[in-house]
């Protein structure tokens, strides 16, 4: 198996209740992240639907967690969490969230999903490109990835590294994986073995590709802003 260059991302596609087919980012965090409690200033029937969407997303992320590593928790639309102080929601932001959820029900196709994560990873490319490279760490990650793949050939099948590029804290990894069933496990194993604190990956359903971003131990990935990335596709497809 030949290692070319190195970098990592992940997405899970699936149907979630009334929202239809969604591409969901999975993130495994090295430390628990405290969710911010939010409350709706004005009741709306669609609030319950948004709450259900976020709850289902949180459950999916929990199933993807590595061992005891914490996952990002869903943010409740109504009420507070564990007695935390409530924060008033911005009405304009809330209206945008509702419009986005309505649009995603019928328009969040695999093609749109790929574009959304393409936008997100393009932004991460800019962040990574601005970092000063840590040549020693990059060599360590490259050799570690190569050894892990060589040692796991029997279990994983053929895995081809198309790209692995690292800055000082972020790495982008693109793989072709012959056995599509092991892609999620492979990303988790890479993250755990090479001690990355966070991973975000896009895996097109039924295809061999894995496109992922990894954050070095002690670093974090920039947040996935649904309003920004999905909203861009909603605007582009308006009408």
- pLDDT tens for the chain, residues 1 to 239: 333 333 333 333 332 222 223 333 445 444 434 333 333 334 455 556 566 655 554 444 433 333 323 233 333 333 344 455 556 778 888 888 888 889 998 898 999 999 999 999 999 999 999 999 999 999 999 999 999 999 988 888 899 999 999 999 999 999 999 999 999 999 999 999 999 999 999 999 889 999 999 999 999 999 999 899 999 999 998 85
Q: What is the pTM of this model?
A: 0.67
User: For residues 220, 222, 226 and 230, what is the CA-based torsion angle, rounded to 10 degrees?
Assistant: -130
| Contact status, residue 108 vs residue 57, Cβ threshold 8 Å | no
Residues whose CB is less than 8 angstroms from the CB of residue 130 and which lie 6 or more positions away in sequence, other chains included: 167
Residues whose CB is less than 8 angstroms from the CB of residue 28 and which lie 6 or more positions away in sequence, other chains included: 64, 65, 66, 69, 71, 188, 191, 198, 199
């Amino acid at each position: 198996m030949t290692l070319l260059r190195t970098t990592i991302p992940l997405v899970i596609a699936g149907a979630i209740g009334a929202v239809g087919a969604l591409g969901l980012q999975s993130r495994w965090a090295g430390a628990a992240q405290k969710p911010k409690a939010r409350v709706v200033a004005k009741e709306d029937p669609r609030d319950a639907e948004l709450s259900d969407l976020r709850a289902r997303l949180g459950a999916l992320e929990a199933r993807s967690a590595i061992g005891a590593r914490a996952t990002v928790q869903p943010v409740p639309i109504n009420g507070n969490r564990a007695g935390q102080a409530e924060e008033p929601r911005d009405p304009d932001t809330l209206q945008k969230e509702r419009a986005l959820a309505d649009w995603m029900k019928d328009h969040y196709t695999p093609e749109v999903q790929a574009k959304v994560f393409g936008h997100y990873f393009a932004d991460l490319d800019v962040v990574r490109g601005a970092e000063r490279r840590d040549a020693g760490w990059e060599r360590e990650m490259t050799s570690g990835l190569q050894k892990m793949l060589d040692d796991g050939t029997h279990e994983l099948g053929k895995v081809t590294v198309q790209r692995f590029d690292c800055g000082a804290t972020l790495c982008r990894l693109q793989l072709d994986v012959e056995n599509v069933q092991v892609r999620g496990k492979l990303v988790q194993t890479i993250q755990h073995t090479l001690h990355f604190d966070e991973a975000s990956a896009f895996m097109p359903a039924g295809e061999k590709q894995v496109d992922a971003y990894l954050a070095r131990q002690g670093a974090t990935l920039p947040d996935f802003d649904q309003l920004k990335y999905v909203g861009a596709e909603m605007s582009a497809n308006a009408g």
